[in-house]
Amino acid sequence: MRPTTVERTDEPMLYRAPDGSITISIPMKIRKYSGRSQVLLPKIISHTDFKEKEELTILQAALVRGRRWQKMLDMSKYKTLRDIAVGEKVDPSYVSRVMKLNLLDPEIVELILNDEMECTANFNDFCMNLPSTWADQYTHVKVTSF
């Protein structure tokens, strides 16, 4: 493996060597502030371009919990939903409501996780009286992005 080198270039560059290695050049400057090195990006690149969403919505967090708890059941870490509630120190009714999210249509799950869902439903609408068929779930939660 070749060592990383820092060179100053004014234009981005991509170079493919005959041996299959790739060299990518990105214009940047490295400055030292208080003994620490800091990378200064060109003005056309904003640091917010690299930031990811920091907080999950209530539905996204509930979907993640539901999937994690389902894996715990599948791997026999817990035997029942009540065991999960005791182990995770949450209310048993909350565990059962969140576990119902595992029955959601995968397309609705994808919309929720990508933060593309436009609907009038809240967390309780997803968890209570959720229809078992995926087609009925769209009308139940009033999805408007389709």
Lowest mean pLDDT among 2-16, 60-74, 105-119: 2-16
In 3D, which of 36, 16, 34 has the Cα closest to residue 25?
Answer: 16
CA 108, 112, 117, 123 dihedral sign is: positive
Assign 99 a pLDDT band (cuts: 50, 70, 90): very high
Which pTM value belongs to this model? 0.59
**Angle (CA) 13 17 20, round 5°:** 120
| Cα separation, 75 vs 70, whole angstroms | 9
Higher-confidence residue: 143 or 36? 36
Asked if the model's pLDDT at residue 146 lies above 50, the reply is no
Assign 86 a pLDDT band (cuts: 50, 70, 90): very high
